[in-house]
Amino acid sequence: MSKLVIVGTVAFDAIETPFGKTDKILGGAATFIGLAASQFHVDGAIVSVVGGDFPQSYIDMLSSKGLDVSGLEIVPDGKTFFWSGKYHNDMNSRDTLVTELNVLADFNPVVPTEYKDAEVVMLGNLHPNVQLGVIEQMNDPKLVVLDTMNFWMEHTLQELMQVIAKVDVITINDEEARQLTGEYSLVNAAKRIHEMGPKYVVIKKGEHGALLFHDDEMFYAPALPLAEVFDPTGAGDTFAGGFTGYLSKTGDYSFENMKTAIVNGSALASFCVEKFGTERLVNLSREEMYKRLQQFKNLTQFDIELT
Amino acid sequence: MSKLVIVGTVAFDAIETPFGKTDKILGGAATFIGLAASQFHVDGAIVSVVGGDFPQSYIDMLSSKGLDVSGLEIVPDGKTFFWSGKYHNDMNSRDTLVTELNVLADFNPVVPTEYKDAEVVMLGNLHPNVQLGVIEQMNDPKLVVLDTMNFWMEHTLQELMQVIAKVDVITINDEEARQLTGEYSLVNAAKRIHEMGPKYVVIKKGEHGALLFHDDEMFYAPALPLAEVFDPTGAGDTFAGGFTGYLSKTGDYSFENMKTAIVNGSALASFCVEKFGTERLVNLSREEMYKRLQQFKNLTQFDIELT
């Protein structure tokens, strides 16, 4: 097992879906990534920032999952980052209602000394300069994984490209991959992104699963077809957390092992969307995860006679 | 190996894509289905109709693939069904420019006597009454597979529902499944369609692959991610032809074998889109198919330790 550093937001979310709405609940990319990775009992540290309004009980819950929170800065007179959004009926699109950066506006990430030698770094969605700041504090990690989104392509493309050049794996959704490269075909988009730096490109297609590209190799992990998606918030982060958590646990960063890591990420994401926010991940049992992985196996494995 | 009856259009297509355009070339659902099924050297018969303008060379080509054409009616003073369409830049949508029914308007399908005892029937996209007419001529087939489209839902829903009630398998695309059932979730849509009759529901998602549903079981076959889709015309029919061709060849209509059948259908569809019309299917070698199936295996198979 290798150490894992997770940087990203720890936040309050207020969510409205066709199934209901929440007040401010626990959210944030680093939160979902951490909870997903903790399923593998990794030695992971969260690097983030919250305000004095952030409940100690949330911090205790993250600690209880085995996550190191010494890199979670608390700004006593500041307010925690807040996001509010409303999903449309098809759950595939949403409107952002409120974004209050608050303490995130001046965030200078500090990686705890004992995690500077971590082998795996998961850069959750954040300003590229913050992501870059974390990379610079690390002592030669073996695998740096980047998640980002269209917002940074539109507002801080130059900084984002600097980060992309320095990472081993990028996770990005299909529309963002097309936007970043100008290529409609995801095969061609992945080739362009390889040229920008990352040896491994993961393209997330939501309900249609995810593709992993490495040179001329490809792997396709489906999403589990679900009767109901209750709340998609955090599904992408959960996917990334499952992916990096599994890789940290196994310490094997090969393409073959990344296939299994992606299936684990997809399985965890399929739980995440079953309830609001982090609720389902917080209360996930080993047996449930085992059964879900078996479902993914049944869903995708087939016999073929190649004669 | 069991006998296969294929009903559907045999047609002229004129196609425009961002890569080029064609004059009238060979097309039609039964043509693509037949060419795909012929990859498995099945004993298949095409039931369709053409006009006096249809070249004998096309009929000879179909015969040379081992397809029985005694059920292909020729109306000497009639004209062959003609469709013309133009694809948009993303290849996922198209405009129909011309539809001339011609001899199809009065088509009364006649299943050749020696194929009335076929075990497998593939009802390609056509007026539901024609599909029903074929079912009624058969002596207790073991597997009837239906392909249809939104046009029939909008114009002949009652007749279509009669056909749906009589088939074992339906293949339908995701938007059509939603339209037919009013369910957004494909899992729920498949449940509603089960209730209409078919024990097996195949939902085609284009570049995102296909889902097979049977009671509470699911299987997900990806489409091969492609750098370039040259011409999507006939891909769905080719998929259906590969599916039924493989099932006819093996004579095994179990859920497990349907998984392999769908992967074969996806593999053939991935060839179909590489060139205009039927060109790629007509010239497909066994070795190419073998390699493609290996690619599907590499694309989807993973190791997972369930401990």
Please classify residue A136 by burial: count the beta carbons closer than 10 Å to its beta carbon, then call 0-12 exposed, 13-18 middle and 19+ buried: exposed
Q: Could you tell me which CATH number the domain at A3-300 has?
A: 3.40.1190.20
> Rounded distance, CA A238 to CA A204, Å?
12
The minimal CB distance from A260 to the residues B90, B264, B303 is found for: B303
Cβ <8 Å between A303 and B259 = yes
Amino acid at residue number B108: N
Could you tell me the two tokens for A5? 């550093």
pLDDT at B85: 94
Enter the pTM of the model. 0.92
> Rounded distance, CA B211 to CA B174, Å?
9
Roughly what angle, to the nearest 10 degrees, separates helices A255-272 and A29-37? Answer: 110
pLDDT at A90: 73
What is the Cβ-side half-sphere exposure of residue A222, based on CA atoms within 13 angstroms? Answer: 27
Per mean pLDDT, which range of B87-91, B177-181, B300-304 is the poorest?
B87-91
Cβ <8 Å between B226 and A185 = yes
**Domains of chain B, residue spans:** 3-300
Q: What share of chain B is helix, strand, coil (3-state, %, to 5)?
A: 40, 25, 35
> pLDDT per position in chain A (307 positions), as tens?
899 999 999 999 999 998 899 999 999 999 999 999 999 999 999 999 999 999 999 999 999 999 999 999 999 999 999 999 999 877 778 899 999 999 999 999 999 999 999 999 999 999 999 999 999 999 999 999 999 999 999 999 999 999 999 999 999 999 999 999 999 999 999 999 999 999 999 999 998 999 999 999 999 999 999 988 899 999 999 999 999 999 999 999 999 999 999 999 999 999 999 999 999 999 999 999 999 999 999 999 998 876 5
pLDDT at A306: 62
> Rounded distance, CA A204 to CA B75, Å?
52
pLDDT at B256: 96
pLDDT at B304: 82
Please, which pLDDT band fits residue B60 given cuts at 50, 70 and 90? very high
The residue of A173, A226, A270, A300 whose CB has the most chain B CBs within 10 angstroms, and thus the best one to mutate to test that interface, is A300
pLDDT at B130: 97
**Rg for chain B (alpha carbons), in Å?**
18
The residue of A304, A305, A306 whose CB has the most chain B CBs within 10 angstroms, and thus the best one to mutate to test that interface, is A304
Q: Tens of pLDDT along B170-202?
A: 999 999 999 999 999 999 999 999 999 999 999
Roughly what angle, to the nearest 10 degrees, separates helices A29-37 and A56-64? Answer: 30
Q: How many residues does chain B have?
A: 307
Q: Tens of pLDDT along B203-240?
A: 999 989 999 999 999 999 999 999 888 999 999 999 99
Could you tell me the two tokens for B289? 């198919």
> Rounded distance, CA B126 to CA B55, Å?
22
Q: Residues A134, A139, A145, A150: what is their CA dihedral angle, to the nearest 10 degrees?
A: 30
Nearest C-alpha neighbor of B24 from the set B75, B98, B84: B84
Could you tell me the two tokens for B33? 């289905």
Cβ <8 Å between B263 and A304 = yes
> Rounded distance, CA A11 to CA B253, Å?
52
pLDDT at B306: 62
B62 to chain A, closest Cα gap in Å: 25
Inter-residue contact B130 to B30 (CB < 8 Å): no
Please classify residue A222 by burial: count the beta carbons closer than 10 Å to its beta carbon, then call 0-12 exposed, 13-18 middle and 19+ buried: buried
Contacts of A260 in chain B (CB under 8 A): 302-304
> Rounded distance, CA A38 to CA A16, Å?
27
Inter-residue contact A6 to A44 (CB < 8 Å): yes
Please classify residue A64 by burial: count the beta carbons closer than 10 Å to its beta carbon, then call 0-12 exposed, 13-18 middle and 19+ buried: exposed
> Rounded distance, CA A265 to CA A289, Å?
11
3-state secondary structure of B267: helix
